[in-house]
Amino acid sequence: MKILVIGGTGHIGSFLIPMLVDRGGQVIVVSRGSTPTGKTAAWQKVELQTARYATQDAAWCDCVAQTGAEVVIDIIGVDVSGTYEAAMSTCKHFIACGSVWMFGPPRTIPTPDTTQSPCESEGYAQRYRQMLATRDKAARDGIAFTAIMPPNICGPGKIPLDGHGGRDADVHKAHIQGTSVKLPLGCNTSIGPCDAEDIARAFCLAVDNRQAAAGEIFNVGAAYGLPAPQFIEAYAGIYNTDIPIEYVSHEDFYSTILPDPGANYHFREHMLPDISKIRAKLGYEPRHTPEQTMERTVAWMREEGII
């Protein structure tokens, strides 16, 4: 089976590609070429192509079509509808990567894999609309379509979410030094770091179970989340230090301390996806707890000399 992975040299792809190769698939990876490939033996069996993913771009569409892939996994998702159209002559299963952010601020916890509220990010909102429209078109075309929706992605290969709502090595260095972290008074928001290896496994399960995955939008995530104070405490344990938490008024936190909506969203809205559907339909089971993936990622940062 020929499998095209768009963006396969990124964080999720670094785990996904070896899994697909181990399954015996003929794997083609298309990327911009700016990120180095993995160093394991599996990558020696991968066909690498360089192309620029652009919306409504003829060269991009030609690149996708010429691969002749039976399964297309689009991790980047810049133009899901256009990429689907380019691939559909040979594609039997199109798998897109989204985000639980696309559902908007949650109404229930854990949060199901359906629209909750208007998405605050127009970029995510536009991609989500495309995803839903492509799912409908694929159903009419008789082609399986699946979307995988991760929450906060963690795991070796990328700086993890820090106590300031970003992915900043300097903030992690401050955590090591025991610098205090400010949270809004009463903050108990759930944060659910999910290991990129578990997310990659979800994509593989969709490939392996095409019929069960057809037409589905699946949340993927850890088995549970950590309330924000326990999230900070987990880093304190990993860094073997004390990270004091200073509680401030909501007004001060959201207007002065962390005014950026993309950063403060982590402490304002729960990020705990309901993974019961992918468990039931595909047999997904996360292998890493939030604490374990945080610890794995910190170990990677130390090995890479980032901290």
- CATH number, domain with residue 256: 3.90.25.10
Query: Three-state DSSP class for 226?
Result: strand
Going by C-alpha positions, the residue among 150, 160, 152 that lies closest to residue 296 is 160
How far apart (Å, rounded) are the C-alpha atoms in residues 55 and 66? Answer: 17
Domain presence at residue 107: yes
CATH of the domain at 58: 3.40.50.720
Task: Based on the fold, state whether residues 118 and 171 are members of the same structural domain.
Answer: no
In the chain, the number of structural domains is 2
pLDDT tens for the chain, residues 1 to 307 = 999 999 999 999 999 999 999 998 899 999 887 666 777 888 889 999 999 898 888 999 999 999 999 999 999 999 999 999 999 999 999 999 999 999 999 999 999 999 999 999 999 999 999 999 999 999 999 999 999 999 999 999 999 999 999 999 999 999 999 999 999 999 999 999 999 999 999 999 999 999 999 999 999 999 999 999 999 999 999 999 999 999 999 999 999 999 999 999 999 999 999 999 999 999 999 999 999 999 999 999 999 999 9
Range of the domain at 234: 157-192+224-271+289-303
Residue 54 is predicted with a pLDDT of 86
- Yes or no: say if 49 and 76 are a contact pair by the CB < 8 Å rule: no
Domain presence at residue 276: no
Residue 49 is predicted with a pLDDT of 92
How far apart (Å, rounded) are the C-alpha atoms in residues 146 and 115? Answer: 16
Strands (E), 82-170: 93-97, 144-149, 153-154
Task: Based on the fold, state whether residues 20 and 144 are members of the same structural domain.
Answer: yes
Q: What is the pTM of this model?
A: 0.96
Residue 43 is predicted with a pLDDT of 87
Going by C-alpha positions, the residue among 246, 157, 230, 218 that lies closest to residue 192 is 230
Strands (E), 10-60: 26-31, 47-50
